[in-house]
Amino acid sequence: MSEENKARVQRFVEELWHAKNYRIVDELCAPEFVAHDLPAGVPANREGFKKVATIIHNAFPDIRFTLEDMIAEKEKVVLRWDSTGTHKGEFMGIPVTNKKVNRSGITIYRMAGGKIVEWWNKSDLLTVMQQLGVVPSMGKGGK
């Protein structure tokens, strides 16, 4: 089952993030899907998840994910990933900079009955803000 879950998660990443196929959320995520780490005020369900994906795609239309590690055990699949994208649309109130950003993170998927039922994501937004020039980088003398 672990290999099947890994294949589903890999398909989910490819279809949603690279092909911008939002229907994959309804196909591969259970109706009771809970996205635990969405921004405040966004419903933690499939619709909220699609909303956040749309915001990210609008801000970084060329976003690409590289799956560095994929580990599956029992009902969980864990990804360690890197992403790149060019800031071409407003993001978190930040006007377009046209800067290329790199981001890394870890995402955990819990599967049941062949569907994604829970999602947790932790990623390095501080580095993104530094790359966009809205937060100073460390080690530059505080200037």
Per DSSP, the three-state class of 130 is helix
What pLDDT does residue 138 have? 77
Place of tokens 């998840």: 49
Structural domain spans, the chain: 2-132
3-state SS, residue 119: strand
CB 64 within 8 A of CB 76: no
CA distance 125 to 1: 33
pLDDT mean values, one per 10 residues, the chain (143 residues): 93 97 98 96 98 98 97 97 98 96 98 97 96 85 51
pLDDT for 137 = 84
**Contacts for 128 with CB less than 8 Å, ≥ 6 apart:** 101, 103
Closest CA to 6 of 57, 69, 56: 69
Does 2-132 carry CATH code 3.40.50.300?
A: no
Is beta strand 100-112 parallel, antiparallel or unpaired with respect to 115-123?
antiparallel
